[in-house]
Structure formats: C-alpha cells, structure tokens
C-alpha cells in the first residue's frame, strides 16, 4: 500500500502522520481523523442540543450523553466522509486539494471503503439505540440528508445549505435524547446552526474556487463571488439571531446572553476578515468555528446558571 503526503488542509504535524502505524494511516485519513475540525463541527450542535434541553430544565448537561455524542459524531463524520469520497472519487481526482485522498490515489478500494462505512454506521447505531424513541427516529431520518449531500454540488449552487441541514441535525437529536421530544427552542437552535454552517462552509469553499470551476462543481462561494464576505456576514447575523431566539423561548438566564455576545463577536470578526483571493486565510477562519461553536455551547450551559440566580 503506497503512502500519500499529508493533505494540504491537514497540518503536517497532525497526529496520524506523526504517530499512527503506516498501515492504518489511509483508513484514518479516509475518516478524516487527521483533520478533527469536522468532528467538532458535527458534534457541537449535538452538545448544544443537550445543553439547551438541560438549561431549559435548570440543570447541567448529562456528561455521559455528551460523551456518547462525541463518539457518535466522530464515527458518523468518518462514515460520511468515506461515503462522500466514494461518490466523488472522479471529481476528487481532478482537484489538487483532494487528489491525494485514499480512494482517488488508489490506497483504498471502493469496496474496502464501503466496508469502512458499514462498520462506522453499525457502532453508531448501537449508540443511537440507547436513546429515546423520538431520538432514534431522528437519527434514522438523518441518513436521507447524509445520502443526498454528495450530489448537491452537482444540482445546486447551495450544497453548503444542505450541509447545514445535515451537520446541525444533532441539535434536534441532542435535545430529543435529553427530553424525549423536540420543542420550539430546539428547532430555532437547528435553524441558527444551518446559517452558521452556511457561513463557515462558504468560507471553506473559497479554497477550491478555481478547481471547482474547472471540475464543474457548484458551491455557494462560486455563486456569490466577490460578494461572499457580505453574504457570510448576513448568514452569521441570522445564526446569532436564531440562537438568541432559542434562548428566549427556552427562558434561559442572563448567563446565556452574556456569552452569546462573545459568540456574535467571533462570527462577525470572521466575516469581516474573509477575502475570496486568500484561500489560506479562509482555512484558518473556517477552523476558528470550533471555538465559536464551543462558545455557544458554553452560553447554553451558562443559561441554566443564570436562570437559577433569577
């Protein structure tokens, strides 16, 4: 099995290239374990949903539930990335940033990749079955979003919006796992997450503007062109407004609003720095969303403390 150089958007010092056995590296890269930002961005909406449900009830989030969402997000993100690579293998071979991925570079066959997807999904299913029935139904429903996502870049200029629908499903799932139902605050949090993802994935797509144009791949960054920075700012304003609406409908305390101000500051600062001709900066700004998402999670946790003091 041949060895591939680290992907351009994976840090040269990532733990996979530094510590993993050579035979495991292609598999870990297939699941993007060398690039943990995606795991955080998939997991954080789930954590936020759990925290929102707990704060609404005036308590702290269940640590065991948070741990299950961490493992589940890591596995489902790995399965989703592998599935995406199976579907996009011909496109990936034409794009400089993705040509070295395990499938287009020949390190892992399509059949082997399907086995990887199945293994990740089976373990994730075992976790899902420990949740209440509503959460199980939501988890099953998310598969339709995941299955359709790789095809969105072929049929719409807004695959980033579909990714927002998919990646933030955890907000509904986390809330349902904690409460056994889906309430209005969770729906508002989910909607806010959709705009958050639409913003940060538009930033991410700036890296591939030229290659996507040559390969015929559609993206919000291509559609928006020079107006992308202004659009990202608008997406982020909507994300903050909907997060605030979720807090209001859940009757959260002052602690939520204090930290949500910091969340808003981080997102607006990102948007004002976006430049369509600076792909390296775009990657840094994209990765900064792990911090933004953690701040919103902390805000939701703090909402329970504020409520307790009122």
Each residue's pLDDT, cut to its tens digit, for the chain (310 residues) gives 344 444 455 556 788 888 889 899 999 999 999 888 999 999 999 999 999 999 999 899 999 999 999 999 999 999 999 998 998 888 778 777 788 889 998 999 999 999 999 999 999 999 999 999 999 999 999 989 988 988 898 899 999 999 999 999 999 999 999 999 999 999 999 999 999 999 999 999 998 888 788 778 899 999 999 999 999 999 999 999 999 999 999 999 999 999 999 999 999 999 999 999 999 999 999 999 999 999 999 999 999 875 444 4
Query: Checking phi first, is residue 30 left (phi over 0); if not, alpha (psi -120 to 50) or beta?
Result: alpha
Residue 3 lies in a domain: no
The number of distinct structural domains making up the chain is 1
Residue 228 lies in a domain: yes
Residue 1 lies in a domain: no
Residue 296 lies in a domain: yes
Residue 13 lies in a domain: no
The answer to whether 45 and 170 are in contact (CB under 8 A) is yes
Residue 278 lies in a domain: yes
Residue 234 lies in a domain: yes
Q: For residue 217, what are the domain limits?
A: 20-309
pTM, 2 dp? 0.88
CATH number of the domain at 260, please: 1.10.357.140
Residue 269 lies in a domain: yes
Query: Checking phi first, is residue 251 left (phi over 0); if not, alpha (psi -120 to 50) or beta?
Result: left
Give the C-alpha separation, 189 to 245, whole Å.
Answer: 8
């Amino acid at each position: 099995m041949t060895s591939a150089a680290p992907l351009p958007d994976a840090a040269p010092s990532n733990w996979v290239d530094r510590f993993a056995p050579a035979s495991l590296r292609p598999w870990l890269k297939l699941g993007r374990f060398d690039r943990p930002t995606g795991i955080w961005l998939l997991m954080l909406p789930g954590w936020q949903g759990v925290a929102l449900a707990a704060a609404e009830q005036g308590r702290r989030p269940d640590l065991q539930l948070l741990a299950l969402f961490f493992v589940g997000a890591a596995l489902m993100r790995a399965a989703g990335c592998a599935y995406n690579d199976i579907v996009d293998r011909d496109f990936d071979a034409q794009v400089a940033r993705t040509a070295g991925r395990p499938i287009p570079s020949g390190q892992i066959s399509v059949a082997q990749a399907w086995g990887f997807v199945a293994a990740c999904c089976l373990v994730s299913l075992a976790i899902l079955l420990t949740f209440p029935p509503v959460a199980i139904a939501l988890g099953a429903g998310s598969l339709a979003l995941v299955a359709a996502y790789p095809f969105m870049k072929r049929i719409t200029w807004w695959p980033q919006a579909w990714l927002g629908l998919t990646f933030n499903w955890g907000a509904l799932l986390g809330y349902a796992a904690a409460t056994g139902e889906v309430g209005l605050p969770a729906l508002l949090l989910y909607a806010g997450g959709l705009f958050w993802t639409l913003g940060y994935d538009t930033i991410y797509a700036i890296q591939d503007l030229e290659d996507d144009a040559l390969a015929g791949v559609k993206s919000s960054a291509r559609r928006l062109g020079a107006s992308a920075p202004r659009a990202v700012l608008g997406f982020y304003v909507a994300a903050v407004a909907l997060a605030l609406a979720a807090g209001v409908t859940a009757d959260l305390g002052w602690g939520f609003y204090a930290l949500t101000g910091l969340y808003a500051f981080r997102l607006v600062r990102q948007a004002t720095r976006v430049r369509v001709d600076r792909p390296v900066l775009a990657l840094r700004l994209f990765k900064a969303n792990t911090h933004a998402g953690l701040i919103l999670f902390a805000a939701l946790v703090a909402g329970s403390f504020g409520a307790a003091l009122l």
